[in-house]
Amino acid sequence: MPEETAVYTHGHHESVLRSHTWRTAANSAAYLVGSVKPHMRILDIGCGPGTITADLAELVPDGHVTGVDHAPGILDRARATAAERGLENVEFAVADVHALDYPDDTFCVVHAHQVLQHVGDPVRALSEMRRVCAPGGIIAARDADYSAMTWYPSSPVMDDWLELYLRVARANGGEPDAGRRLKSWALKAGFGAGDITASADTWCYASQEERAWWSGLWADRTVASSYAARAVEGGHADAGELRAIADAWREWGEREGGWFAVLHGEILCRK
């Protein structure tokens, strides 16, 4: 079976987990929540620290949630998240979305948040998600679209950040503009056009607290995470350029009129 060929761009540095642990079903999977029923069995792919996974488990008190991730180390954090919330209907395992170790027709819902932008073969991944989903079930995916991110006030150095991120992510085998491609990928994975509901949603950071949080985590990520190391090792930027980008992030975060929007593509597919 195919195996993952892409390298996860961000890694699990504290600055990355600062963002990942903020995510909830409400702010990251609202397009799916209305379709979740208490009895359902859910597979949450790319669960990371497990905050969305735990929310989904709370929505299915008579069901069960399995959270999986390609990185074994993060699963201890996910298990701790579930334990802290007293959840007993959730488990975690290592998995590769290109070759899931589950029988056909196992889950009522197969969910992936910010996953398909990082994998080597997103069409194959969606095909696997479809395979393990039961007839009548739901395959749900949501991904950011980096080229559609927009902010104010403008900053030439932050423009450099976006161009750099796109280069690094693609060199790692991913597609950072995944959001706009989700419907197309689903069609290639075998879903009929009538089985796909495509939508979009945003995260927006504009208050003083939101700007400080968002700019701070990206400033730190730019100089200290796996993304920073891969930018330098791949010859995409040097340490001085990364420091300049981090400084630009912090400067933007201090601007009273600052505003940043992250566009996401979303798909709900019926099997």
Alpha-carbon distance of 202 to 262, in angstroms, equals 5
pLDDT at site 144: 98
Q: Residue 140 pairs with which residues in a beta bridge?
A: 111, 268
Alpha-carbon distance of 82 to 68, in angstroms, equals 13
pLDDT higher than 90, residue 42: yes
Sign of the alpha-carbon dihedral angle for 238, 241, 247, 249: negative
pLDDT digits (tens, 9 = 90+) for 226-271: 999 999 999 999 999 999 999 999 999 999 999 999 999 999 999 9
CB atoms within 10 A of CB 112: 24
pLDDT at site 1: 55
Question: Which residue's structure tokens are 């968002």?
Answer: 214
pLDDT higher than 90, residue 7: no
Alpha-carbon distance of 33 to 52, in angstroms, equals 11
CA triplet 260, 265, 271: central angle to 5 degrees? 160
pLDDT at site 207: 98
Residue 5 pLDDT level (bands cut at 50, 70, 90): confident
Q: What's the whole-number mean pLDDT along residues 88-94?
A: 98
Percentage above 70 pLDDT, the chain: 99
Q: How far is CA 71 from the centre of its chain?
A: 14
Residue 221 pLDDT level (bands cut at 50, 70, 90): very high
Q: Residue 142 pairs with which residues in a beta bridge?
A: 113, 266
pLDDT at site 247: 98
Position 25, amino acid: A
Q: What's the whole-number mean pLDDT along residues 210-215?
A: 98
Q: Which helix (H) or strand (E) holds 133?
A: strand 133-144
pLDDT higher than 70, residue 59: yes
pLDDT digits (tens, 9 = 90+) for 182-192: 999 999 999 99
pLDDT higher than 80, residue 3: no
Question: Which residue's structure tokens are 């393990």?
Answer: 132
Taking the model in full, what pTM does it have? 0.96
Q: What's the whole-number mean pLDDT along residues 175-186?
A: 98
Q: What's the whole-number mean pLDDT along residues 74-87?
A: 97
Count of alpha carbons within 13 Å of 54, Cβ hemisphere only? 20
Angstrom CA distances, 133 to 15, 29, 31, 44, 234, stand at 33, 18, 18, 12, 38
Alpha-carbon distance of 95 to 42, in angstroms, equals 15
Do the Cβ atoms of 124 and 2 come closer than 8 Å?
A: yes
pLDDT higher than 80, residue 4: no
Angstrom CA distances, 128 to 3, 99, 134, 188, 241, stand at 12, 7, 12, 12, 40
Q: What's the whole-number mean pLDDT along residues 57-68?
A: 98
Rg of the chain (C-alpha set) = 18
Residue from 263, 234, 237 nearest 248 by CA: 237
Q: What's the whole-number mean pLDDT along residues 140-147?
A: 98
CA triplet 68, 113, 110: central angle to 5 degrees? 60
Alpha-carbon distance of 100 to 222, in angstroms, equals 32
The number of residues making up the chain comes to: 271
pLDDT at site 145: 98
Residue 195 pLDDT level (bands cut at 50, 70, 90): very high
Q: What's the whole-number mean pLDDT along residues 68-81?
A: 96
Residue 170 pLDDT level (bands cut at 50, 70, 90): very high
